[in-house]
Amino acid sequence: MFGMGFTEILLILIIAIIFLGPERLPKVAVDVAKFLKSFKSNIAEAKESITQEIDVSELKNGKDSVLNEAKELTKFETFDDVKKELDSLKETKDEIVSFKSK
């Protein structure tokens, strides 16, 4: 725990018993345990919150890319524009095929 061995923990307990006394030690131990539990739950909440924020930003970026693709697909105003784009793609394909065959 916290990089401490058994002997270090035992030494801390002995010092705590000497300074706090056997009457107050159980109450202090309970208070320390409550603090550690509260600290751990706060860290878990912060981690979950950060994870949710990251997920939201990833979804937003994904949404933007889908919207950009949709805009790209709907950029054609007339059928002639679609035909020109298809012809251009066919020419590119033919160039790639001829390059591969060389």
Q: From residue 24, give the alpha-carbon distance in Å to each of 14, 16, 28, 64.
A: 14, 10, 6, 60
Token couple for 77: 């105003």
**Residue range 16-25: average pLDDT?**
84
pLDDT > 60? residue 99:
yes
Report for 5-14, 65-74, 77-86: range of highest mean pLDDT: 5-14
Calculate the average pLDDT of the chain.
Answer: 78
pLDDT > 60? residue 61:
yes
Q: Which of 16, 19, 14, 42 is nearest to 29 (CA)?
A: 16
Interval 21-53: pLDDT, tens: 888 888 888 998 999 899 999 999 998 888 888
Query: Which helix (DSSP H) or strand (DSSP E) does residue 51 occupy?
Result: helix 6-73
